[in-house]
Chain A
Amino acid sequence: MIGRHTTLIVWAVLGAVVVAGQLTAVLSKGRFPGLGTVVGRVTTYRVGRYLLVVAWMWLGWHAFAR
């Protein structure tokens, strides 16, 4: 049975991976794409852009209104 402590450690590791990836992207000066580049690529497709905006809207409503 996984407890709260282990769950939080996994979240922290996942967060650290994302931060490390972003730092790598910044330090590589564009040779390695950051999350922003990946999201930017998704938004070049109209459907991808709408899906991400709807996901953002849901996140805000879920987190701050309901």
Chain B
Amino acid sequence: MTLGRWWMGAIAALGFVYAVLASFTRPFTGGADVVTAVPLVVAVLVTARSTWELRRSHEREPGVGEIDAAPRRKRRGIVWTAPILAGAGWELYCFVNLPRAAHPTLSSLLDILDATRAGKAVAFASWLVLGWFLVTV
């Protein structure tokens, strides 16, 4: 999906304001449910649209450079398997071991960040950026 610089700036500003707004909500309340559900609905719509665009773009022929470089980059990408598996394994280890204070999971660490309004705004904004990347990449 290609957006102009003006649109990207407007979306970034909107996301920032929305994250600040979300930082005023508390989990297990109607306000938190609504403020979290809105990006989920937007993500479903954008995913549907970008999947349709991706299908259309597959109709074009790949360039010579793309064909040559792809397998080499693919092999190097395997390096990321080790830290991803290590992180997943450590999360699982912490999850099955109690007390949680001695074995904090990623959720527990995120709760520490969410404890302050500024921390929650940063966490929510990061989540929005990650979601935008996933649905538009």
Chain A interface (Cβ < 8 Å from any Cβ of B): 2-4, 7-8, 10-11, 14, 17-18, 21, 30-33, 35-41, 43-44, 46, 49-50, 52-53, 56-57, 59-66
Contact = CB atoms under 8 A, between A and B. Distances in A.
A56 B77 contact: no
10 contacts: A7-B102, A11-B106, A21-B80, A38-B77, A53-B44, A53-B134, A53-B135, A62-B107, A64-B22, A64-B27
What is the interface of chain B mostly: helix, strand, loop, or mixed? Answer: helix
Interface in B1-55: 22, 25, 27-28, 32-33, 35-37, 39-40, 43-44, 47, 51, 54
Given A43-B137, A60-B36, A63-B127, 8 more contacts: A7-B104, A14-B87, A40-B137, A49-B47, A53-B44, A64-B25, A64-B124, A64-B127
Contacts of A30: 73
Query: 6 shortest A-B CB distances, which residue pairs?
Result: A65-B36, A33-B77, A4-B102, A40-B137, A64-B36, A17-B83
Interface in B38-80: 39-40, 43-44, 47, 51, 54, 73-74, 76-77, 79-80
